[in-house]
Structure 1
Amino acid sequence: MIKETVDCIDAGTEYCPCKLAESGQCLICSQCQGECFCDCLNWKGVCIYQELNNNGYKAKEGRKTYDCNVENVIKYDDNIVIIKFKAPHKLALDLVKPGSYIFIKTDENKYFDVPISIMNSDIDNDIITVAVEIRGIKTTKLKNINANENISIRGPYWNGVFGLKNILAQNNNKCLILARGIGLAPMMPVIRKLIYQNNEINIVIDKSPFETNIAKELLNDYSTKYTEKILLDKGNLSDYAKVVIKDALNDGVNYIHVAGADILTYNIINYLNDIDRNDVMLSCCNNFKMCCGEGICGACTARFAGHKVRRFCKEQADPRSIFEGRRFI
C-alpha cells in the first residue's frame, strides 16, 4: 500500500484559501473541514484557517482571465496545433514550473474552456507555447486560430504532473524520460527543470499516433539527445521499453518520468512491480478530466477504497497511488 501525505498544489499560494475551504472541504486543514482541533495534513508554512478568517471566511480571488496576442501558429497533420502567444510577465513566470497548465477559452461559457498543458514558457520574451491535440468539439475550434489574433486564457494552474516532489528531489542524478503522443508537450518543462538541476537525462520518445515529433525544436534548443522508439505495442509495454528501463536501472537510474496516457504509466508501474523495483521514484502526467480547475465541479474526482473521493485538479499525488485502490465502477 502506498502511504503518502495529502498535498494540495495551491496550499500556501496566493490562491489559498480557495472555494473548497470556503465550503468546508479543504484538502489540508481540519478546521476548514469543520473539525474543532488543528490537525493539518501537510503544513506549508501558512495557516489556511487563519488566512480564511482574515479574509472574512471567503475564498481568495481566483485565477484571472487574460487576452493574449497569438504570435505564431503551427499546424501538423490536421490533428495537432502548436500555439505561441504573448503573455504578461508574471504569468510567464508562474507557468515555467513542471505541471503548469491553463484553460483556453473557446466560448462565452467558461465551462467550455479547454485545459491545456504548457509546453514552454519563455520568460525572457514572455512567449508561452502550448500544443493542442484536436480531438473534439472544443479543441476543433482552436484549429481556426491564426497569428495576430487574440486568445483568451485562464491561469495559472500547476497540477498537470503527479510526483512533483520526486522531480524536485533529482540533483546530479541519472534520469529516464519515457514520452508518447501529446505527452511530449508537458514533458518539456520537466526536462527543463531536470537540466537546471544538473541531471543526466536519457529520453525515449514514441511519437505515435502522430507522424511528427512535436518536441523536436525545443529538444534541439536544449541540446538534448533522444531516441525515437515504440513504447506501447497493442496496449502493452513494448519489449524495447522493458529493455530500456532495465538497462537504465542497472546504470544507476532511480527516477523515471512518464509523459503519456494512463495506460503507459500503468504498464510501467506494473513492470517495475514485476522486477521488484518499487523503490524507483516516478512522476507522470495528470490525465484526469478537468473542467473548473478548482475542485468544485467534480470532473477531476476519482473514488477509492473506503469511499474516499480525491480531487485531482488540486491534490498532488504519487503516480502509484492514483491507481492503487481506485474504484472503476
Structure 2
Amino acid sequence: MNYEIKDCIDAGTEYCPCHLAETGDCLLCSHLQGKNFCDCTNWKGVCIYQEYAWNGNHAKQLRKVSLCKILKKEELTKNVVCYTINARHKLVQELSHPGSFVFARNPKSNGYFDAPISVMDTDVNENIIKLVIESKGIKTKTIDMLKENDNIAIRGPYWNGVLGLKNIYQSKDRTSLLIARGIGMAPMIPVMKKLYSNGNKIIAVIDKSSFKDIFIKEQLNLCDATLIECNVLESNGTLSNELKDIIKKYEKDVNLIYCAGPDIFISNILNETNDNIKIACCNNARMCCGEGICGTCSTRYDGDVVKRLCKLQIDPKFIFKDRRSL
C-alpha cells in the first residue's frame, strides 16, 4: 500500500459524532467538514451527518469518569507498579482490544491530573483491568499515592493507543515479530493476545531498558512466545546491530512487525524493514483530552495538514512522512 488511508477510531461508536463535527473538523464526513457533497471515507455503516442531525446538530456525549476500586497494587520494579482494578463490566468489555487506554488519576486531584495509560490486560469474567504505571511526573506520582482498596478515577474507553490496527487484525496463521522496549512491554500484551488468537506464532524481542526484569514473562508463556532479549537502541538513537540481524533473519517469514518504544525507535524500524511488511506500533502522541479538542495530540505535516492522533487511525508508514519538525 503506497497511499494513505485515514480512519477515525470513534466513527460508528456511541461517541460519534464528536465535538469536531460542531466546528467543521470531522475526520471523515465531508458534509461536517463544510463541503457540499457526500464523500465519506471508510464507511462504517452509519451516516455520521445523519447522526449529527438526529442529535439536534450537537455532538454526542463525552466519555464519563468512573470511580473504580484498586484490588491489588504490585510493585514490579522500582517506580513501576501494576494496578489490578475492578471496573464496570461494560467498560472492561470495551477495553478488551488492542490499543485500548484510559485516563487515570487520583480522585483527590482534578481533571488536569488525568494521565493516559495503556491497558495491559482485562478479565471480562471478573470485571478487572490491569494498568502498569511508571511513576515519572506529577500525574503518575499522585496516582502512586493510592493504596489497595482505594478508589481510582478512570475515564474511558479510548482505543487509539496502537496505530496500524487493521494490519494486526488481518495478520493470521503465520509468524508475527513483536519488539518492545521498557514500559512498551505493557501495551504489547493485548496486541500479542490478538495475534496469538489469530493463529500466529509469536516472536517477542524485548529490551528491558532501565528495568531489572521482564515483567510480562507470564503473558509471554501463555501465548507460547519465543523470547529474545537484546538491546534494541544504541545511545545515539540508532538500531543496534543485534536487532538489525534479528529483523533480517525473520522479515521474510513474518506477516507483521509490531514495535513499542519511542518515536526515534519506531522511525528507525520503518527505515530498516521491507515496504511489503505490515507494520503496527504504539501511538506516542501526547494525549491530554483524548477527544481531539485540546490540540495536544495534533501533529503538523507539509501543506498545513494537521492530524489529530488521538483519533486518527493510520498506517505507521505515514506517521513520519512529510512530518514537520518545526
Same fold (TM over 0.5): yes
Q: Identity over aligned residues, as a percent?
A: 49
> How many Å apart are 1:200 and its aligned residue?
1.1
- The equivalent residue for 1:114 is 115
Checking the alignment, whether the CA contact within 8 Å between 1:111 and 1:292 is kept in structure 2 is: no
Q: Deviation per CA, 1:176-195, whole angstroms, max 9, x where unpaired?
A: 00111111000000001001
> How many Å apart are 1:2 and its aligned residue?
4.6
Tell me the SS of whatever aligns to 2:272.
Answer: helix
Instruction: Report matched runs for 1:214-229 at 5 Å.
Output: 214-229=215-230
Checking the alignment, whether the CA contact within 8 Å between 1:305 and 1:327 is kept in structure 2 is: yes
> How many Å apart are 1:211 and its aligned residue?
1.3
Checking the alignment, whether the CA contact within 8 Å between 1:2 and 1:324 is kept in structure 2 is: no
| Distance in structure 1 (CA, Å) of the matches to 2:173 and 2:219 | 22
- The equivalent residue for 1:270 is 271
| Distance in structure 2 (CA, Å) of the matches to 1:189 and 1:77 | 21
- The equivalent residue for 2:178 is 177
Checking the alignment, whether the CA contact within 8 Å between 1:2 and 1:321 is kept in structure 2 is: no
- The equivalent residue for 2:82 is 82
Label 1:94 to 1:293 Cα distance change in 2 as closer, same or farther (>3 A). Answer: same
| Distance in structure 2 (CA, Å) of the matches to 1:323 and 1:94 | 29
**What amino acid sits opposite 1:52 in the alignment?**
Y
Q: 2:317 aligned with 1:320, yes or no?
A: yes
| Distance in structure 2 (CA, Å) of the matches to 1:16 and 1:131 | 29
- The equivalent residue for 1:162 is 163
Checking the alignment, whether the CA contact within 8 Å between 1:64 and 1:154 is kept in structure 2 is: yes
| Distance in structure 2 (CA, Å) of the matches to 1:220 and 1:295 | 38
- The equivalent residue for 1:53 is 53
| Distance in structure 1 (CA, Å) of the matches to 2:303 and 2:25 | 18
Tell me the SS of whatever aligns to 2:31.
Answer: coil
| Distance in structure 1 (CA, Å) of the matches to 2:28 and 2:243 | 38
> How many Å apart are 1:36 and its aligned residue?
1.2
- The equivalent residue for 1:148 is 149
Instruction: Report matched runs for 1:8-19 at 5 Å.
Output: 8-19=8-19
Q: 2:127 aligned with 1:130, yes or no?
A: no
> How many Å apart are 1:174 and its aligned residue?
1.2
- The equivalent residue for 1:239 is 241
> How many Å apart are 1:112 and its aligned residue?
2.1
Aligned residues: 324
> How many Å apart are 1:254 and its aligned residue?
3.0
| Distance in structure 2 (CA, Å) of the matches to 1:214 and 1:301 | 32
* TM-score, structure 2 normalization: 0.96
- The equivalent residue for 1:67 is 67
**What amino acid sits opposite 2:307 in the alignment?**
R
CA RMSD of aligned residues (A): 1.3
> How many Å apart are 1:26 and its aligned residue?
0.3
| Distance in structure 1 (CA, Å) of the matches to 2:249 and 2:56 | 56
- The equivalent residue for 1:295 is 292
Structure 1's consecutive aligned runs of 4 or more residues displaced over 4 angstroms after TM superposition are none
Q: Deviation per CA, 1:285-322, whole angstroms, max 9, x where unpaired?
A: 00110000000100000000100000000000111111
Checking the alignment, whether the CA contact within 8 Å between 1:101 and 1:118 is kept in structure 2 is: yes
> How many Å apart are 1:238 and its aligned residue?
0.8
> How many Å apart are 1:126 and its aligned residue?
1.2
Instruction: Report matched runs for 1:188-227 at 5 Å.
Output: 188-227=189-228
* TM-score, structure 1 normalization: 0.95
> How many Å apart are 1:108 and its aligned residue?
4.0
| Distance in structure 2 (CA, Å) of the matches to 1:127 and 1:31 | 40
**What amino acid sits opposite 2:111 in the alignment?**
K
Deviates further, 38-47 or 286-295: 38-47
**What amino acid sits opposite 2:259 in the alignment?**
V
Q: Deviation per CA, 1:247-279, whole angstroms, max 9, x where unpaired?
A: 1023x113100011112111111112xxxx111
Checking the alignment, whether the CA contact within 8 Å between 2:180 and 2:188 is kept in structure 1 is: yes
Checking the alignment, whether the CA contact within 8 Å between 1:261 and 1:287 is kept in structure 2 is: yes
Q: 2:99 aligned with 1:99, yes or no?
A: yes
